[in-house]
C-alpha cells in the first residue's frame, strides 16, 4: 500500500453540496486505484464506503509573458458513504 494515497479533502462549493448527499471529495495520489482509496478512507475515518468515483484532471497550459508553463494535473476521488454516515471534514462557519 502506498504511503499517502489520500492527500487531503477538497473543499469547494460543489464538494460542500455533495457532502449533504453523503459524498465527499478527496485529492488523491495519481497512481491510486479505487480499491486502494476505499481501503484508505475506511481505515482513516472508520466509515463504510459504498462507492468510489475517480476523476483525472488534465494539466492546463498557462502563459506569463513569453514563457509557457503548466498548472499540473491531479486526480480526485468522490467517495460515497453508506446511508446515515458522515464525515466531519468541512470547516465550521
Asked if 44 and 6 count as a contact pair (C-beta separation under 8 A), the reply is yes
Q: Is residue 34 part of a domain?
A: yes
| Residue owning grid cell 488523491 | 28
Task: For residues 24 and 77, give the distance between their C-alpha atoms in angstroms, rounded to a whole number.
Answer: 8
Strand 60-64, strand 67-71: pairing = antiparallel
State the CATH number of the domain containing residue 63: 3.30.70.330
Considering the entire predicted model, what is its pTM?
Answer: 0.85
Asked if 87 and 45 count as a contact pair (C-beta separation under 8 A), the reply is yes
Structurally, the chain folds into a number of domains equal to 1
pLDDT tens-place string over residues 50-89 = 999 999 999 999 999 999 999 999 999 999 999 989 888 7
pLDDT at residue 90 is higher than 80: no
Q: Is residue 59 part of a domain?
A: yes
Residues in the chain: 93
Q: Is residue 53 part of a domain?
A: yes
What pLDDT shows up at residue 2? Answer: 58
Print the domain residue range for 39: 6-81
Q: Is residue 68 part of a domain?
A: yes
pLDDT at residue 92 is higher than 70: no
Q: Is residue 32 part of a domain?
A: yes
Q: Is 37 exposed, middle or buried (0-12, 13-18, 19+ CB in 10 A)?
A: buried
Q: Is residue 27 part of a domain?
A: yes
Q: Is residue 90 part of a domain?
A: no
Asked if 28 and 76 count as a contact pair (C-beta separation under 8 A), the reply is yes
Amino acid at each position: 500500500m502506498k504511503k499517502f494515497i489520500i492527500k487531503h479533502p477538497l473543499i469547494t462549493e460543489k464538494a460542500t453540496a455533495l457532502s449533504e448527499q453523503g459524498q465527499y471529495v478527496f485529492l488523491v495520489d495519481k497512481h491510486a486505484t479505487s480499491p486502494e482509496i476505499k481501503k484508505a478512507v475506511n481505515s482513516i475515518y472508520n466509515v463504510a464506503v459504498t462507492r468510489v468515483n475517480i476523476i483525472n484532471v488534465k494539466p492546463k497550459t498557462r502563459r506569463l509573458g513569453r514563457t509557457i508553463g503548466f498548472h499540473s494535473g491531479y486526480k480526485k476521488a468522490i467517495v460515497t458513504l453508506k446511508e446515515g454516515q458522515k464525515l466531519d471534514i468541512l470547516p465550521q462557519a
